[in-house]
Amino acid sequence: MNELSIEQLSDWHELNKEKNLFGRRIVFEMIEPIIKNLSNKFIIDQLGYSFSQIPIYKITIGNGKTKVLLWSQMHGNESTGTKAIFDMFQFFDNPGENISTASQILKECTLVFIPLLNPDGAEVYTRKNAQGVDLNRDVLDLKAPESKILITFLKEFSPKFCFNLHDQRTIFSIGKENLPATISFLAPSESAERRVTKGRKVTMAVITSMNKVLQDIIPNQVGRYTDEFYPTATGDNFQKAGHHTILIEAGHSKDDYNRERVRKYNFIALLTGIHHIAIESKLTNYKLYFDIPNNEKYYLDIIYKNVFLSNRGQMVDVGVIFKEELVSDEIIFRPIIEHIKDLSNYNGNVIIDYEGKVFDNEDKLKEIIEY
């Protein structure tokens, strides 16, 4: 059994990641030429079309017995997983010093990727598809063609493992220091009782292996999502149907609004998880999953400390979150006031001390802060 060298993987990523993809908005016209140019190690098939008739592809590599399905961007504005998937294509094509890791994975696993499951949402930078359907809550109704594509292929392929790749908002924090939740995981429940079933234990063990590696690179910035059961959620239903389903939420890292640093962490986490699957590692204790701290909501984009509001006659803090908007093909981050209160138990990407600066009222504050 060979060990993954995380330093080596990290260096590889800096030099060899997919350079044609960058930033938050990843759309079909960016990925299509890359897919068409993939080497003959990859098998490319079209699975169907989105509601607005944009093609949805699957890409297969490896021919091992363990079947793994990965999909990304079922929420159109959550693109970090897509970038990490294309970095993995580069990796398997040209692993350099990591050749033994890559060959081992491809010998043991058949990997199928469906990048950009919701190309219509990606186009207009929305979570939902063109019909206004949340694909992550459509697994029973199957109102959206994109959901049908995913479930039809799931049934045909019957993967042992699934990776469901999302992005979470900047508001999530972890631990006493309220560091940003840079990567969060979930082993979805199979029922409202949230029992730790045999299937969930296997899923948790994969997550534990990924967490172990990430803690070395981003200590105390890895979180765990609530395992409350969502009867219509994709992951919960896939897990229930016997496919070990790992949810990964890529999040914020200090100043990383393009999510390029977390893209690397996502890439490393994915390779670690798949490597764990490939070597059928029994070394990881699934119980360590419960040591991963829960996601909290104590992180803001900007905190203005010590603002004096005349109409209240008191000192307050002002918490700002960025609203992401698509304006002529660019994502802009519009600051919106979320809290006016004591925010001493919050952390922020930027913290500015206003040292008692006086504002007449909330409207005056808005004029200055929301632009």
Closest CA to 123 of 71, 47, 36, 50: 50
Pick the closer one to Zn ion by CB: 98 or 129.
129
Pick the closer one to Zn ion by CB: 141 or 367.
141
Buried b (16+ CB within 10 A) or exposed e, 46-72: ebbebbeebebbbbebbebebbbbbbb
Question: C-beta of 166: minimal distance to Zn ion in Å?
Answer: 3
* Contacts with Zn ion, residue ranges (CB under 5 A): 75, 78, 166
Question: C-beta of 136: minimal distance to Zn ion in Å?
Answer: 6
3-state helix, strand, coil in the chain (%, to 5): 35, 30, 35
Query: Letter for the amino acid at 114?
Result: I
Whether 183 and 219 have beta carbons less than 8 Å apart is answered as no
Pick the closer one to Zn ion by CB: 76 or 95.
76
Name the strand (E) or helix (H) holding 138: none
Pick the closer one to Zn ion by CB: 78 or 123.
78
Packing angle of the helix pair 80-93, 28-36 (nearest 10 deg): 10
Burial class of residue 11 (count of CB atoms within 10 Å of its CB; 0-12, 13-18, 19+)? middle
Question: C-beta of 147: minimal distance to Zn ion in Å?
Answer: 14
Question: C-beta of 75: minimal distance to Zn ion in Å?
Answer: 4
Per-residue tokens: 126: 């929305």
Q: How far apart are CA 64 and CA 84, in angstroms?
A: 22
Question: C-beta of 128: minimal distance to Zn ion in Å?
Answer: 11
Pick the closer one to Zn ion by CB: 119 or 319.
119
Question: Could you tell me whether strands 299-309 and 161-167 are parallel, antiparallel, or unpaired per DSSP bridges?
Answer: unpaired
Question: C-beta of 61: minimal distance to Zn ion in Å?
Answer: 25
Q: How far apart are CA 211 and CA 222, in angstroms?
A: 7
Burial class of residue 85 (count of CB atoms within 10 Å of its CB; 0-12, 13-18, 19+)? buried
Pick the closer one to Zn ion by CB: 226 or 314.
226
Closest CA to 56 of 143, 132, 116, 124: 116
Pick the closer one to Zn ion by CB: 12 or 265.
265
Pick the closer one to Zn ion by CB: 164 or 221.
164
Question: C-beta of 78: minimal distance to Zn ion in Å?
Answer: 5
Question: C-beta of 165: minimal distance to Zn ion in Å?
Answer: 9
Pick the closer one to Zn ion by CB: 75 or 275.
75
Question: C-beta of 249: minimal distance to Zn ion in Å?
Answer: 7
Q: How far apart are CA 224 and CA 247, in angstroms?
A: 10
Dihedrals phi, psi of 222, to nearest 5 degrees: -115, 130
Helices (H), 279-337: none
- Closest CB to Zn ion: residue number: 166
